[in-house]
Protein backbone atom coordinates (compact mmCIF):
# COMPACT_ATOMS: atom_id res chain seq x y z
CA UNK A 1 0.00 0.00 0.00
CA UNK A 2 1.00 3.64 -0.24
CA UNK A 3 1.23 5.67 2.94
CA UNK A 4 1.87 9.35 2.36
CA UNK A 5 2.52 12.27 4.71
CA UNK A 6 1.70 15.79 3.61
CA UNK A 7 3.60 17.97 6.08
CA UNK A 8 2.08 21.15 4.60
CA UNK A 9 3.55 24.38 6.08
CA UNK A 10 5.09 22.58 9.04
CA UNK A 11 8.56 21.44 10.08
CA UNK A 12 11.74 23.26 9.14
CA UNK A 13 14.38 21.57 7.00
CA UNK A 14 16.19 20.35 10.12
CA UNK A 15 12.95 19.01 11.61
CA UNK A 16 11.94 17.39 8.33
CA UNK A 17 15.34 15.72 8.03
CA UNK A 18 14.94 14.35 11.56
CA UNK A 19 11.41 13.20 10.76
CA UNK A 20 12.55 11.32 7.66
CA UNK A 21 15.52 9.84 9.52
CA UNK A 22 13.13 8.49 12.19
CA UNK A 23 10.97 6.96 9.49
CA UNK A 24 13.96 5.33 7.83
CA UNK A 25 14.99 3.82 11.15
CA UNK A 26 11.50 2.45 11.63
CA UNK A 27 11.31 1.00 8.11
CA UNK A 28 14.74 -0.58 8.39
CA UNK A 29 14.00 -2.14 11.74
CA UNK A 30 10.76 -3.68 10.53
CA UNK A 31 11.69 -4.48 6.99
CA UNK A 32 8.29 -3.27 5.76
CA UNK A 33 7.31 -3.41 2.13
CA UNK A 34 4.92 -0.45 2.06
CA UNK A 35 5.56 2.54 -0.22
CA UNK A 36 6.14 5.54 2.04
CA UNK A 37 6.01 9.06 0.67
CA UNK A 38 6.75 12.30 2.52
CA UNK A 39 5.99 15.78 1.21
CA UNK A 40 7.92 18.37 3.25
CA UNK A 41 7.43 22.12 2.90
CA UNK A 42 9.25 23.54 -0.11
CA UNK A 43 12.11 25.10 1.85
CA UNK A 44 12.52 21.84 3.78
CA UNK A 45 13.29 19.77 0.69
CA UNK A 46 16.62 18.04 0.89
CA UNK A 47 18.54 15.23 -0.80
CA UNK A 48 17.66 11.85 0.59
CA UNK A 49 18.53 8.26 -0.10
CA UNK A 50 16.65 5.45 1.54
CA UNK A 51 13.26 3.78 1.44
CA UNK A 52 11.24 6.94 2.03
CA UNK A 53 10.33 8.76 -1.17
CA UNK A 54 10.51 12.51 -0.70
CA UNK A 55 8.24 14.61 -2.89
CA UNK A 56 7.38 18.27 -3.43
CA UNK A 57 4.03 19.71 -2.35
CA UNK A 58 4.11 22.08 -5.30
CA UNK A 59 6.28 23.41 -8.11
CA UNK A 60 5.65 25.54 -11.16
CA UNK A 61 5.44 24.06 -14.64
CA UNK A 62 8.80 25.46 -15.70
CA UNK A 63 12.47 24.65 -15.44
CA UNK A 64 13.17 28.15 -14.06
CA UNK A 65 12.29 31.73 -15.00
CA UNK A 66 10.36 34.81 -13.91
CA UNK A 67 7.73 33.23 -11.62
CA UNK A 68 8.09 35.07 -8.32
CA UNK A 69 7.40 32.93 -5.30
CA UNK A 70 7.49 29.65 -7.20
CA UNK A 71 10.11 26.95 -7.59
CA UNK A 72 10.77 25.04 -10.80
CA UNK A 73 12.35 21.86 -12.04
CA UNK A 74 15.89 23.09 -11.34
CA UNK A 75 15.05 23.43 -7.64
CA UNK A 76 13.65 19.92 -7.48
CA UNK A 77 16.56 18.45 -9.39
CA UNK A 78 19.00 20.01 -6.94
CA UNK A 79 17.67 17.57 -4.35
CA UNK A 80 16.89 14.67 -6.68
CA UNK A 81 13.11 15.09 -6.21
CA UNK A 82 11.08 13.07 -8.73
CA UNK A 83 7.69 13.07 -7.00
CA UNK A 84 5.09 15.83 -6.80
CA UNK A 85 1.67 16.47 -5.30
CA UNK A 86 -0.71 18.16 -7.74
CA UNK A 87 -4.27 19.42 -7.24
CA UNK A 88 -4.38 19.38 -3.45
CA UNK A 89 -7.56 21.10 -2.29
CA UNK A 90 -5.54 23.79 -0.50
CA UNK A 91 -3.88 24.65 -3.83
CA UNK A 92 -7.24 24.60 -5.59
CA UNK A 93 -9.25 26.51 -2.99
CA UNK A 94 -6.85 28.73 -1.03
CA UNK A 95 -4.52 29.57 -3.92
CA UNK A 96 -7.13 29.40 -6.67
CA UNK A 97 -5.30 26.99 -8.97
CA UNK A 98 -7.60 26.26 -11.87
CA UNK A 99 -8.05 22.89 -13.52
CA UNK A 100 -6.31 24.38 -16.56
CA UNK A 101 -3.26 25.37 -14.50
CA UNK A 102 -3.18 21.96 -12.83
CA UNK A 103 -3.33 20.19 -16.18
CA UNK A 104 -0.40 22.27 -17.39
CA UNK A 105 1.56 21.34 -14.27
CA UNK A 106 0.54 17.69 -14.59
CA UNK A 107 1.65 17.47 -18.21
CA UNK A 108 4.95 19.21 -17.52
CA UNK A 109 5.93 16.82 -14.72
CA UNK A 110 4.47 13.81 -16.51
CA UNK A 111 6.74 14.46 -19.50
CA UNK A 112 9.65 14.32 -17.05
CA UNK A 113 8.49 10.97 -15.67
CA UNK A 114 7.64 12.26 -12.18
CA UNK A 115 5.56 10.19 -9.81
CA UNK A 116 2.44 12.32 -9.46
CA UNK A 117 -0.01 12.19 -6.58
CA UNK A 118 -3.05 13.91 -8.04
CA UNK A 119 -5.78 14.98 -5.62
CA UNK A 120 -9.51 15.22 -6.22
CA UNK A 121 -12.41 15.87 -3.87
CA UNK A 122 -15.60 17.82 -3.35
CA UNK A 123 -16.50 20.72 -1.02
CA UNK A 124 -19.32 20.24 1.47
CA UNK A 125 -22.03 22.03 -0.52
CA UNK A 126 -21.35 19.74 -3.47
CA UNK A 127 -21.60 16.63 -1.31
CA UNK A 128 -24.85 17.91 0.15
CA UNK A 129 -26.26 18.28 -3.37
CA UNK A 130 -26.28 14.48 -3.72
CA UNK A 131 -24.24 11.69 -5.21
CA UNK A 132 -24.90 12.56 -8.86
CA UNK A 133 -23.80 16.20 -8.50
CA UNK A 134 -20.83 15.12 -6.42
CA UNK A 135 -19.59 12.59 -8.96
CA UNK A 136 -20.06 15.10 -11.78
CA UNK A 137 -18.01 17.62 -9.82
CA UNK A 138 -15.21 15.13 -9.19
CA UNK A 139 -15.29 14.15 -12.87
CA UNK A 140 -14.39 17.73 -13.83
CA UNK A 141 -11.19 17.31 -11.79
CA UNK A 142 -10.20 14.44 -14.09
CA UNK A 143 -10.54 16.63 -17.19
CA UNK A 144 -7.28 16.93 -19.11
CA UNK A 145 -5.50 14.45 -16.82
CA UNK A 146 -3.88 11.39 -18.38
CA UNK A 147 -5.52 8.82 -16.13
CA UNK A 148 -3.50 6.03 -17.73
CA UNK A 149 -0.14 7.61 -16.78
CA UNK A 150 2.04 4.86 -15.34
CA UNK A 151 3.41 6.96 -12.46
CA UNK A 152 0.05 8.30 -11.39
CA UNK A 153 -1.40 7.92 -7.90
CA UNK A 154 -4.81 9.48 -7.23
CA UNK A 155 -5.86 10.73 -3.80
CA UNK A 156 -9.53 11.19 -3.04
CA UNK A 157 -9.79 13.87 -0.36
CA UNK A 158 -13.18 15.41 0.42
CA UNK A 159 -12.45 19.09 1.08
CA UNK A 160 -14.74 19.13 4.12
CA UNK A 161 -12.81 16.27 5.71
CA UNK A 162 -9.38 17.89 5.45
CA UNK A 163 -8.11 19.10 8.80
CA UNK A 164 -11.61 19.05 10.31
CA UNK A 165 -11.71 15.73 12.13
CA UNK A 166 -14.73 14.79 9.99
CA UNK A 167 -14.61 11.80 7.66
CA UNK A 168 -17.10 10.13 5.36
CA UNK A 169 -18.43 6.81 6.65
CA UNK A 170 -16.42 3.76 5.65
CA UNK A 171 -19.33 2.77 3.46
CA UNK A 172 -19.23 6.15 1.68
CA UNK A 173 -15.49 5.80 1.14
CA UNK A 174 -16.04 2.38 -0.44
CA UNK A 175 -18.85 3.62 -2.69
CA UNK A 176 -16.85 6.62 -3.95
CA UNK A 177 -13.62 4.67 -4.35
CA UNK A 178 -15.45 2.02 -6.36
CA UNK A 179 -16.74 4.69 -8.74
CA UNK A 180 -13.36 6.42 -8.98
CA UNK A 181 -11.61 3.12 -9.69
CA UNK A 182 -13.79 2.84 -12.76
CA UNK A 183 -12.33 6.10 -14.05
CA UNK A 184 -8.70 5.11 -13.53
CA UNK A 185 -6.86 2.01 -12.44
CA UNK A 186 -4.16 4.10 -10.77
CA UNK A 187 -3.65 3.40 -7.05
CA UNK A 188 -6.29 5.32 -5.13
CA UNK A 189 -5.55 6.82 -1.71
CA UNK A 190 -8.04 8.22 0.74
CA UNK A 191 -7.19 11.48 2.54
CA UNK A 192 -8.97 13.75 4.99
CA UNK A 193 -8.70 13.44 8.80
CA UNK A 194 -7.01 10.06 8.74
CA UNK A 195 -5.75 9.50 12.29
CA UNK A 196 -4.07 6.69 14.12
CA UNK A 197 -7.51 5.87 15.53
CA UNK A 198 -9.29 5.37 12.19
CA UNK A 199 -6.45 4.50 9.79
CA UNK A 200 -6.85 0.76 10.18
CA UNK A 201 -10.51 0.76 9.15
CA UNK A 202 -9.91 3.20 6.31
CA UNK A 203 -6.99 1.14 4.97
CA UNK A 204 -9.11 -1.99 5.15
CA UNK A 205 -11.81 -0.49 2.89
CA UNK A 206 -12.23 -2.03 -0.51
CA UNK A 207 -10.50 -0.06 -3.30
CA UNK A 208 -8.43 1.93 -0.82
CA UNK A 209 -4.79 1.47 -1.81
CA UNK A 210 -3.36 3.73 0.87
CA UNK A 211 -3.79 7.02 2.69
CA UNK A 212 -2.62 10.62 2.39
CA UNK A 213 -2.25 12.03 5.88
CA UNK A 214 -1.85 15.66 6.96
CA UNK A 215 -2.06 16.73 10.61
CA UNK A 216 -1.83 13.25 12.15
CA UNK A 217 1.33 12.53 10.18
CA UNK A 218 3.14 15.31 12.04
CA UNK A 219 3.58 12.83 14.88
CA UNK A 220 6.12 10.47 13.39
CA UNK A 221 5.13 7.68 15.78
CA UNK A 222 1.50 7.96 14.64
CA UNK A 223 2.56 7.88 11.03
CA UNK A 224 4.69 4.80 11.74
CA UNK A 225 1.67 3.10 13.34
CA UNK A 226 -0.30 3.72 10.17
CA UNK A 227 2.47 2.09 8.14
CA UNK A 228 2.30 -0.91 10.49
CA UNK A 229 -1.47 -1.18 9.96
CA UNK A 230 -0.94 -1.23 6.21
CA UNK A 231 1.68 -3.93 6.63
CA UNK A 232 -0.66 -6.01 8.81
CA UNK A 233 -3.42 -5.77 6.24
CA UNK A 234 -0.99 -6.90 3.56
CA UNK A 235 -3.36 -5.93 0.71
P1 LIG B 1 -5.56 16.06 7.18
O2 LIG B 1 -5.02 16.55 5.75
O3 LIG B 1 -5.08 14.67 7.40
O4 LIG B 1 -4.99 17.05 8.17
O5 LIG B 1 -7.05 16.13 7.12
C6 LIG B 1 -4.97 15.66 4.67
C7 LIG B 1 -4.43 16.36 3.46
O8 LIG B 1 -4.64 17.56 3.32
O9 LIG B 1 -3.78 15.74 2.61
- Residue 225's φ and ψ, nearest 5 degrees, are -60, -40
Quick: pLDDT tens for 15-54: 999 999 999 999 999 988 899 999 999 999 999 999 999 9
216-231 average pLDDT score: 97
Give 169 Cα–ligand 1 centroid separation in angstroms: 16
Q: What DSSP string describes 78-91?
A: TTT--EEEE--HII
Structure confidence at residue 235 as a pLDDT band (50, 70, 90): confident
Quick: pLDDT tens for 97-137: 999 999 999 999 999 999 999 999 999 999 999 999 999 99
Give 210 Cα–ligand 1 centroid separation in angstroms: 13
> What's the CA angle centered on 220, arms 217 and 224, to 5 degrees?
90
Residues annotated as part of the active site: 88, 157
Domain ranges of the chain: 2-233
Does residue 234 register a pLDDT over 90? no
Cβ atoms within 10 Å of 231's Cβ, excluding its own: 17
- The verdict on the CB of residue 57 being under 6 Å from ligand 1 is no
pTM: 0.97
Give the architecture-level CATH label for domain 2-233: Alpha-Beta Barrel (3.20)
188 in Cβ contact with 175 (< 8 Å): no
> What's the CA angle centered on 107, arms 41 and 179, to 5 degrees?
85
- The verdict on the CB of residue 163 being under 6 Å from ligand 1 is yes
Residue identifier of the C-alpha nearest atom 3 of ligand 1: 214
Amino acid sequence: MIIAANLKTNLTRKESDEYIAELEKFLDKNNFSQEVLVFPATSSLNSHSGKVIVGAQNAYAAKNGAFTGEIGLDHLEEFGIKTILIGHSERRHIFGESQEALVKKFNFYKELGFKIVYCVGEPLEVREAGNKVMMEYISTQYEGIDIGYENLIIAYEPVWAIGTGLTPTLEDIEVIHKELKQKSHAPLLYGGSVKVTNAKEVLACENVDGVLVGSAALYVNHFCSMISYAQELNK
